[in-house]
Structure 1
Amino acid sequence: MIDSVARLDHTPQTVDIVDLTHDGRGVARWAEGHPQASKAVFVTGALPGERVSVQQTARSRHFDEARTLEVLTASPDRVTPRCPHFGVCSGCVLQHMAEGEQIKAKQRLLLDNLQRIGRVEPQQVLPPLMGDAWGYRRKGRFSVRRVEKKDKTLVGFRELDPRFVADIHECHTVVPAIGFKVDALSALVDGMDARGDIPQIEFIAGDASGDDSGIALVFRHLQPLGDADRTKLLAFEQEHGFSILLQPGGLDTVHPLSGEAPQLSFHLPQWDVALQFRPLDFIQVNAKLNEAMIARALELLDVQPGERVLDLFCGIGNFTLPLARMVGDAGTVVGVEGDVGLVQRARANAERNGLSNVSFHAADLSKDLGGQPWLKAGFDKLLLDPARAGALEVLKQFPLKGLKRIVYVSCHPGSLARDAGYLVNEAGWTLRAAGVMDMFPHTAHVESIAVFEQA
């Protein structure tokens, strides 16, 4: 538990940064002579190799927290942040670190997790996958809050202190058509009668994000909107070319402000595949990195014509449909996903792309799968892309002995390491290779991929 601010020592202290935490803060220890000498302290805004002056911000039993007051000795990896809101906004916390060093730090974190949590080491470390570092984020959520003291409505990401919404005017990691219209969104909501009843705005962009026409905004509102507010939203929609949707309740309440729901899609030209999605569906946030990730996954899986491949946590078919192209008419691909709506969209995407060698099933992959017929169908290869919780439950139930190869795409190195430990140390597989992919440049988020073979 974090102690109250009243008990903190606000006297500036000098510390040496030796590492980075999983969330991008510097790791140090209080110097000799400090009342908590040698206790770990996590420092916002500091990089490994730096000596910094810090002020304590929080205290707990096992570690303290602090913020950087002054960089006394700078790391050669330190750069000037591009965004004027860096240091306040939590949207990306590594802008002060050279891009090439960011991905190296993420690679070290992955390898450390594999060794420490899973007690495994890959036979090969894959070269990192990198794409656009700016203007890449095509999906996200802005928080909204009316602040009477500032006499304005804030639209943006949370501050480093998550209790507050950052007062930002632009975002350099969000696709430009949205990232440079934060002020316009703030002015729109501030002029609405319901400005105190709109907690968030979700955004998503399809392939047409360069000229606004493929962008949807979903306004969550806690009270019904009056005619005047709806008129203002409609005018904003028409002025900027966005598609605005309203969400008065749960996901099933989302509906377009006017006309029909937008037809959002993205293309994977390497496999001649187009995928349609809805505004609140899950898609990978970085379009170019996503395509490179699919290519690497299929290369590692070594898919051959005529094979049977299973894609778990398949979503709208991001990997499934390119796989179906690879195995050809003689092969079969099966996609399984827990969200029924995503399964419906995946089936429709397969039909639109003329793929008849793929089928989809809805199943909660964290539960007992004994009654699922696809589980016993027999496959040559397995690809899985689970959420942060990982895939241990389904791996323990799956008949692994018949598989030739497994490719695991992960958004959380800790759960990947745990599951890799199971596959290697209990199920008898070999971790052939693993590496990181910079899906979220300038953030501490680590996307990774691993390939396993029968020992």
Structure 2
Amino acid sequence: MSRKRDKLNALAPEMLTVTKLGHDGRGIAHRADGKLVFVDGALPGEDVLVKLGNLHKKYDEGRAIEVLNASPDRVAAPCVHFGVCGGCSLQHMSRQAQLDLKQSVLAEQLKHFGGIEPLEWLPPLVSESNSYRRKARMGVRYVIKKEKLLVGFRERQASFLAELDSCVVMDPRLGLSITAFRELINGLAARDHIPQIEVAAGDELDGVAPVALVFRHMIDLSDSDRQALIDFCAERGWQCYLQPGNYDTVHKVWPVDGPDRLAYELPFPAANGADLRLAFHPNDFTQVNADINRQMLPLALELLETSAEHRVLDLFCGLGNFTLPLATKAREVVGVEGSEAMVRRGQENATANGLSNVSFYSHDLTKDIASQPWAALGFDRVLIDPPRSGALEILPHIVSLKPQRVVYVSCNPATLARDAGELAKAGYVLLKAGIMDMFTHTTHVESIAVFEKRA
């Protein structure tokens, strides 16, 4: 054992008073000498007994091993694995306290990085706090010391897999199947060479398998192993995929016939009057929280103030999650995405829904878009849903198109704030902003903002 670890173990637990929360959900306290301490599992106003875990020059880190007086915001975690599994970090906090934390993070980031605040705050979008996650990548590992196969997520602040038998935040079709996944893999000859399972669930729709499993394998599977995976999925009416290499090697092995797609519906009319139906591959990016997604789309269209006279640009459009609903309201919609595979998926979805006023293009969205043929007529409205890195490179090109309104959907409040500041410099006013609780029980902040060109 290292001297550093010996020193840590020799330290007696300290009683600390938590004054506030950090953006990562950890409590913030100070030791007797004034040194800052980040305390895992503690809430503001609580006196907690803290076991220090990492000592640094300017701050220390620890975890609460006993709560001496509980905050009114403290609740019993709904999952028996909370505190060990690293998938969730806020299950000890009431739902309202979680929302308040995320709201404060967004407000602070807008002010700090963008020097800006909205004229109006939107009420948060919320859904059921559990059973919401319909996609995940689960690790698989046989642990010799435990003589046990583990399937699930990493332990909190560690690289080891947590020992799970269920997950309350996942779609029950997935979260209640972890034990079955473990038993399946444990019975394979290739047990030690299957590092992960990608799981995805769509809507329960006629003619579409509702769940798909993608098994990553590092060696060729025997015929019996391959058949065991197929039988497991076939018994449940699920799709089975194998992945022997990178994502390009993913291929469906069950069912043999039929489309290799899942699907979900949205409350917007297709050409035949039915709800829009969007097909997706299990490895495609989709919003993991179906209920929040169904609330987010009408809100985005409302904020854009889209009408039948407008030409709308949807950047980072993916498979058409925003593009197709926009096409039910606007004169014309152009969706642009860096991935050619997603562009094909988007166009297939538009065709399947009978929407002829929408087109998709593949383009590097760090480069100029104003010079592209599809941008020649300009756009009245722009919707943007960039990755965590934000949209800094493309903002000047958006501004050059002179849209009257821009709706920005963000998965990173820091880059949203930075980009909001740039839009403000270009003459846009931040009218409204708000959070969307896409990832309940985590510190992940999803948000939406609308900007209008100053007259």
Q: 1:182 aligns with which of 167, 171, 178?
A: 178
User: Is residue 4–residue 58 contact of structure 1 (8 Å, CA) maintained in 2?
Assistant: no
* SS of the residue 2:268 aligns to: helix
Contact 2:388 2:411 in 1 (8 A): yes
Residues 375 and 398 of structure 1 are in contact (CA less than 8 Å); yes or no, is this contact kept in structure 2?
Answer: no
Pick one of 252, 267, 284 that aligns with 2:265.
267
Q: How far is 1:213 from its partner? A: 4.1
Out of 230, 246, 250, which is 1:254 matched to? 250
Give 1:50's aligned residue.
Answer: 46
1:267 corresponds to which letter in structure 2? E
Alignment of 1:63-212 (within 5 A): 63-208=59-204
Partner of 2:272: none
Cα 1:29–1:282 change in 2 (3 A) is: same
Quote the residue 1:326 is aligned against. 329
In structure 2, relative to structure 1, the CA distance for the partners of 1:159 and 1:401 (3 Å cut) is: same
User: C-alpha separation between the residues in 1 aligned to 2:373 and 2:36?
Assistant: 51
Helix, strand or coil at the partner of 2:317:
coil
SS at match of 2:214: strand
* Distance of 1:242 and 1:148 partners within structure 2: 31
How far 1:368 moved relative to its partner? 4.6
Deviation of 1:38 (Å): 2.1
Question: What does 1:364-375 align with in structure 2 at a 5 Å threshold?
Answer: 364-369=364-369, 372-375=372-375
Indicate the residue corresponding to 1:353 in structure 2. Answer: 353
Change (3 A) 1:40 1:209: farther
Name the amino acid aligned to 1:22.
H
Count of residues paired in the alignment: 444
Match of 1:299 in 2: 302
How far 1:39 sits from its partner (Å)?
2.4
Percent identity for Structure 1 against Structure 2: 50
- Give the counterpart of 1:308 among 291, 301, 311: 311
Unpaired stretches in structure 2, ≥5 consecutive residues: 270-274
Q: Post-superposition shift, 1:401?
A: 6.0
Moved more, 115-124 or 375-384: 375-384
Q: CA deviation at 1:166?
A: 0.7
**Is residue 370–residue 376 contact of structure 2 (8 Å, CA) maintained in 1?**
no
The TM-score with structure 2 as length reference comes to: 0.94
Whether 1:19 aligns to 2:20 is yes
Equivalence for 1:436: 435
Contact 2:370–2:398 (CA under 8 A) maintained in structure 1: no
Structure 2 CA distance for partners of 1:162 and 1:375, relative to 1, 3 Å: farther
1:120-148 per-position Cα deviation (integer Å, ceiling 9, x unaligned): 11111110000121111001111111101
Partner residue, 1:406: 406
Counterpart Cα distance in 2 of 1:60 and 1:245:
46
RMSD: 1.9
Change (3 A) 1:162 1:262: farther
Contact in 2 for aligned 1:17/1:48 (Cα 8 Å): yes
- 1:19 touches 1:27 (CA, 8 Å); kept in 2? yes
TM-score (norm 1): 0.94
